Structure 1
Amino acid sequence: MITSRREKIIGRVILVVLMLVTVLPFVSIFVTALHEPGSYPQGIEWPETPHWENFGLAFQSADMFRLLGSSMLIELGVVPAAVLLATLAGFGLGHLRPVGARAVFIVFILGLTLPFEGIITPLYFQIRDLGILNTRWAIILPLIGLFMPFAVTWMRANFATIPRELSEAARVDGATTWHLFWRIHVPLSVPAISSLAILLFLWTWNQFLLAIVLVADPAQRTMAGALGAFQGRYGTDIPLLCAGSLLILTPTLIVFLVFQRKFVSALLQGSLKG
């Protein structure tokens, strides 16, 4: 009983420490954003006169409405296509398991070890040769491909845990492979598909490297990528830069808070199945 109580105390202490480590940087950025523009705040110090207008100034200076529209266009180009392709591939590798499926899966596993930074130079020349450099397609198409290793692995793990007896019973009733996929496996995989869509949305929204390397016009980048241009313009104005960073970060926090239950339920469901 003493050991159990001690474990609970240690667990709670670890959770509190992790929470502080996670929250303190956001608190520091928020407090810094309220200081007088052009100043250099020292540490986490609440200003005597909070400058809430910094958020409005950053919103107007960065042209957030235009950046929001650009980010949403990129999201609409990346997330639905990546989720659809990953779901189809995951169903094939995890349930149908054709000849060579294991070798293909190993290739996707190897793709998980490939960092974006390691391919950015050849990717730049390839995008240039395709004639889509400095367009949103230069972000959309590479992201779909780069997300595939994780997305396919995620969906394969989900489809592999669905009992094969369901498919066998449906085959007896005359169901085709498409009917198995669309009417049986996809409804059972809604938690995994929705959680994957949330992850891809967050990763696309926060994509910075591809945006600044492959697209020169900040108005056609993601909001995170446009932060590079904003930083170059207001790099010496720390409070304004922090205000702009928080504005760019806010949509991802809202999405995560709204859909966190579905995301956690998908993870728990996968752990129970595994």
Structure 2
Amino acid sequence: MSTAQAGSGERLTRTALLAAMAAFAVLPLLSMLTAALAPQGTRPPGLAWPHDPQWHNFIDAWNTANLAALFGSSTLIVVGVVPAAVAFSALAGYSLAQLRPVAGRPVAALFLLGLTLPFEALITPLYYDIQRLGLSGSRLAVVLPLIGLLMPFGIFWMRAHFLLAEAALTEAARVDGAGTWQIFRVIHLPLARPALSALTILFFLATWNQYLLPLVLVDDPAKRTVAGGLGAFQGQYGTNTALLCAGSLIIIVPSLVVYVVFQRSFVTALLHGAVK
């Protein structure tokens, strides 16, 4: 087999794999869209386009689940969680990777152990702790625990990035008289932009789609996240597949938009780690 034929076969295989993965991701969304446009109370048509698309189903789903209030609440929770979690992860990851504190390795291992703890195992003690702090029912009851629960992954992510940073840059900056904070802020932080962007996307998705913590720790449904809005379809709307799919599509649109906007930084961060 010639080199040209081998290269053509490799490209064909790669294209087929990408097409299969794209279909695996897109087909469920198309199925949800056709189901959302079907008349309410009917069976989902699968991938077949409805003869009379019911676009008003999206408006009905928006009003039924009170998604306007939930979108505002989710935005407030995301603004409270994501910037703080990313900042703390960057600071802790840089400290463990570059400053090499005493007992740094055991501390890093302890954070790594936190990745094995599921949210469900912590929800009961969190509930009582939030009650003792007097935060039950407020959005802080979701923001503060979620920041802490995201820390193990965030520190692991940023520590892995800073461990691969060029030591020559730090040494050159110290020779020029730069302090620790200045080296971090001026040199390493700009170079960590792809890793920070990817971490921001992951934290946004984890916060936006958070369902369990708001459901348990917040009594007012209007102060929960949009993922809790699907609970509005229980009872008399539980079998209304059209409204359920329409509401689900509305909820996942922000996640898709954020990923599309920041996908270049996300892929760059992943490729940077793979090359290293």
The percent identity for this pair of structures is 53
1:15: Cα distance to partner?
2.3
The yes-or-no answer on 1:219 pairing with 2:222 is yes
Amino acid at match of 1:132: L
Tell whether 2:2 aligns with 1:18: no
The match for 2:204 among 197, 201, 206 is 201
Q: Distance in 1 between matches of 2:32 and 2:21?
A: 18
Indicate whether 1:150 and 2:153 are aligned. yes
Greater shift in the superposed pair: 229-238 or 33-42: 229-238
Q: CA deviation at 1:270?
A: 2.2
Q: Which moved more, 1:45-54 or 1:231-240?
A: 231-240
The answer to whether the aligner puts 1:121 opposite 2:137 as a matched pair is: no
* Count of aligned pairs between the two proteins: 273
Give the drift of 1:4. Answer: 4.9
Give the CA deviation at 1:100. Answer: 0.6
- CA shift in 2, pair 1:145/1:232, >3 Å: farther
Mapped partners of 1:131, 1:230: distance in 2: 31
Q: Does 1:138 align with 2:141?
A: yes
- When the two chains are superposed, the root-mean-square deviation of aligned CA atoms in Å is 1.7
CA deviation string 1:60-95 (max 9, x = no partner): 222222111101100111001101110100110111
2:273 corresponds to 1:270? yes
1:157 CA displacement: 1.0
1:1-274 correspondence runs (5 A) = 1=3, 4-232=7-235, 234-272=237-275, 274=276
Give, in whole Å, the separation in 2 of the partners of 1:130 and 1:269. 42
Paired residue type of 1:267: L
Whole-angstrom distance in 2 between the partners of 1:104 and 1:185: 22
Report if aligned partners of 1:133, 1:214 keep a CA contact under 8 Å in 2: yes
Q: Give the Å deviation of 1:42.
A: 4.8
In the aligned structure 1, how far is the partner of 2:76 from the partner of 2:23?
Answer: 35
The answer as to whether partners of 2:161 and 2:192 remain within 8 angstroms in 1 is yes
Query: Structure 2: any 5+ residue segments left out of the alignment?
Result: none
Q: CA deviation at 1:7?
A: 4.0
For 1:233 and 1:262, the matched residues in 2 are separated by: 44
- Deviation, 1:27, is 1.0
Contact 2:34 2:45 in 1 (8 A): no
Partners of 1:157 and 1:61 lie apart in 2 by: 45
Give the TM-score normalised by structure 2.
Answer: 0.93
Aligned mates of 1:174, 1:134 — CA distance in 2: 50
Aligned counterparts of 1:4 and 1:102: Cα–Cα separation in 2: 45
Does the 8 A contact of 1:212 with 1:228 survive in 2? no
- What code does the residue aligned with 1:80 have? P
Contact map agreement 1:218 1:229 (CA 8 A) in 2: no
Deviation at residue 126 of structure 1 after TM alignment: 2.1
Distance in 2, Cα, partners of 1:230 & 1:82: 32
CA offset digits 1:183-210 (Å, max 9, x no partner) = 1111111111122111111111111121
